[in-house]
Structure 1
Amino acid sequence: MKFNGFIAAIFLAIIIAYFLPQGNDILPLKTITDVGIGFIFFFYGLKLSPAEFKLGFLNYKAHIIIQLTTFVVFPLLALLCLPLFDTGTTSDLWIALFFFATLPSTVSSSIVMVSLANGNLPTAIFNASLSGLIGIFATPIWLSFFLSGSADFEFLDVLIKLCWQIVMPLILGLILQKFLGDFARKHSKKLSLLDKATIILIVYSSFSNSFTSNIFSSVKTDDLLKLTGIVVLLFFIVYFGLGLACNLLGFNLKDKITAQFCGTKKSLVHGSVMVKVIFGNSANTGLLLLPIMIYHSLQLILIAFYAEKYRKKVLCAKTSEETL
């Protein structure tokens, strides 16, 4: 496993927020992160390759199972965990878990891991891209069932903010793709630094607000361990459940790899953006990010492990076919 500087920077931002939570007062972090969010989705629109998107379009069985898992199975599993939280739907920890469960899949890491495991890359590109687009609307719709009427959540206001901060920059990126698309894809790694810097600032700002408001003082160690255990369990239920479903549906090995890798992923980028857009500078935004941060680290480690196992399996299968 390679050292992941992005994950390390996120945890460093949390430590800094704990000791120096005054950053929101010193710098206009809200304005900076709002602009950063716009650029994230503007570049996302620029980098969305129509050719690669079309190439994976026809593999409808894989698309259906991946999107159903991401936006239906995950939230329903989170709902099944509701009895484990004493105050039910009013529990901040359960809301954080449910918020994580409604998020879309990652884009870059899904594609990288599927490529590493020799899975169906066009299908992975299509589903990762489609998931990000669906999630813009699916996440707030799911949340509206439990948060409508609360002080921090008004569905119409949230939808308007999502359109201004996410949908409009995304559409602008798609429109300008003809002129700037090749440039954006060529410099994708450099542009991703802006994404990561924005996410780190959002994490710092969110946790600063939470530490200043003493939100975490009401959370017991047992509750945090319980939350971590649930997040780990959800990964394995979904991962092996998808494997079983793919076997029953007669998927070939490449499609099975893609379904398992794309269907289990949850996006820290979208989570950080959504929590900022939906909940603004609410005191509990740091707490809301906890499950996705735990899961993000977990999925990178476990999927990298399974990717290497699958890669060897695919290579062995190729070698056997060549021998025959």
Structure 2
Amino acid sequence: MLRRVIAIFEPFVLALLATVLLATLLPARGAGVPWFEAITDAAIVLLFFLHGAKLSREAILDGARNWRLHLAVFAVTFGLFPLLGLGIASIPRLDPGLAAGMLFLTLLPSTVQSSIAFTAIARGNVAAAVCSASFSNLIGILLTPALVALLMAGAGDGPGISLKSVESIALQLLLPFVAGHLARPLIGGFVGRHKKMVGIVDRSSILLVVYTAFSAAVVEGLWSRVSGMTLLLVLLLCCALLAVILCATWGLGRALGFARADAIVLLFCGSKKSLASGVPMAGVLFPPAQIGGILLPLMLFHQIQLIACAIIARRYAAQPDEATVAPAN
């Protein structure tokens, strides 16, 4: 089962790398740029419309029940993560664009699909994982832009949110999400029966945003500003960030006395950051020339978190039910 879950993501990671390479060698230029931007905007609208249609009313209501667990996940996702991001962004000599990218990564909501998948592998509380991950993404649509406005105005090249950005958030993210959720009684069955199609839309939208963003960044000289040593530093920072968060969520689960199944939810939902939400949000919040550098840390963190959580989930799965909440050493 673990191999099947990992296999879901490996082709997409390769597709991301191929998209970055394509944007590096053949970036969108001239008259083609407005067309790519228009198609990308439409893809983002469709993506959040489908996300709204996927979220059931029952998941929203159930999410309020296990409030201690969900509050702990929320505190890590939108509290501890941003604090660590502020510390990383203040590191001297770190490229300003990548520093902004590291901070932006920490402001994002948790993933949904991989958090639930790894919780299931580890024999955790899957229902609670669905609620926590869904709530994180629902709240993140409003909270992530607010945190960007509050924390990124002075972080590297990160701008605050203008009136135009607020309008874009409402029109491209919030309105389609609400419309999709309201349309769920009509299209929810269709979306549920065609999960593969929805997955294709998810990934295609992300790839479009990545290509458009990196094209603009390459034209503006991204790779002349980012050295191999800088990339290595960002990779190490992503590894260190994930290690701290994994230790913190494990320790918090013990301190709060959570049952093993709930502690697993906190570990996996609290340690993730969503590429699926982060890429389109970056496309709305930041100027095209800045998005490439801002997305690099998120893309690296995405792959690192999948590898680390796959290993941890496998070790949890090998433990007997009466095992403690601590991962095996």
* TM-score between both structures, scaled by the size of structure 2: 0.89
Residue 44 (str. 1) matches residue 48 (str. 2): no
The separation in 1 between residues aligned to 2:47 and 2:158, in whole angstroms, is 28
**Could you say which residue in structure 2 is the equivalent of 1:290?**
296
Tell me if the contact between 2:125 and 2:262 (Cα under 8 Å) persists in the aligned partners: yes
Tell me whether 1:178 sits opposite 2:178 in the alignment.
Answer: no
Shift in Å, 1:86: 2.8
Alignment map for 1:293-304 (pairs within 5 Å)? 293-304=299-310
Name the CA shift for 1:187/1:18 in 2 (closer, same or farther; >3 Å): same
The one-letter code sitting in structure 1 at the alignment partner of 2:173 is I
**1:153 shift after superposition:** 4.0
Q: Does structure 1 residue 312 correspond to structure 2 residue 318?
A: yes
Question: What does residue 163 of structure 1 align with?
Answer: 170
- 1:41-190 matched pairs, under 5 angstroms: 41-86=48-93, 91-148=96-153, 153-190=160-197
Cα distance in 1 for residues equivalent to 2:263 and 2:123 = 11
State the 1:81 CA deviation: 2.2
Q: Which residue of 2 aligns with 1:243?
A: 250
Residue 191 of structure 1: aligned partner: 198
Deviations 1:149-189 (A, max 9, x none): 98954343222211110111111111111121122122122
CA distance 1:151–1:190, shift in 2 (3 Å): closer
Q: Distance in 2 between matches of 1:146 and 1:57?
A: 28
State whether residues 140 and 155 of structure 1, in contact with CA within 8 Å, keep that contact through their aligned partners in structure 2.
Answer: no
TM-superposed CA distance for 1:253, in Å, is 0.5
RMSD, matched Cα: 2.0
TM-fit CA distance, 1:211: 1.1
Partner of 1:320: none
Between 303-312 and 149-158, report the one with greater CA deviation: 149-158
What is the distance in 2 between the residues matched to 1:284 and 1:179? 39
Runs of at least 5 residues in structure 2 that lack an aligned partner in the other structure:
324-329
Partner AA of 1:66 in structure 2:
V
- Per-residue deviation at 1:55? 3.4
Query: Quick one: distance in 2 between partners of 1:24 and 1:287?
Result: 21
Structure 1 unaligned residues grouped into runs of 5+: 318-324
Deviations along 1:239-271, one digit per CA (max 9) or x if unpaired, are: 111111111111011001000000000001111
Aligned to 2:28: 22
What is the letter of the counterpart of residue 132 of structure 2?
N
Q: Which residue of 1 aligns with 2:327?
A: none
Is the contact made by 2:89 and 2:102 (CA closer than 8 Å) also made in structure 1?
no
Task: Kindly provide the CA deviation profile for residues 262-308 of structure 1, in whole angstroms up to 9, marking residues without a partner as x.
Answer: 00000011111111001142x12111001110010111111111111
Question: C-alpha separation between the residues in 2 aligned to 1:109 and 1:193?
Answer: 16
Residue identity in the other structure for 1:215: L
Query: Where does structure 1 differ by over 6 angstroms across 4 or more consecutive aligned residues?
Result: none
Question: What is the distance in 2 between the residues matched to 1:136 and 1:55?
Answer: 20
Q: Which moved more, 1:284-293 or 1:78-87?
A: 78-87
How many residue pairs match? The answer is 314
Give CA deviations for 1:107-159 in whole Å, capped at 9, x if unaligned: 11111111121111111111111111211222222222344498954343222
Q: State the partner residue of 1:321.
A: none
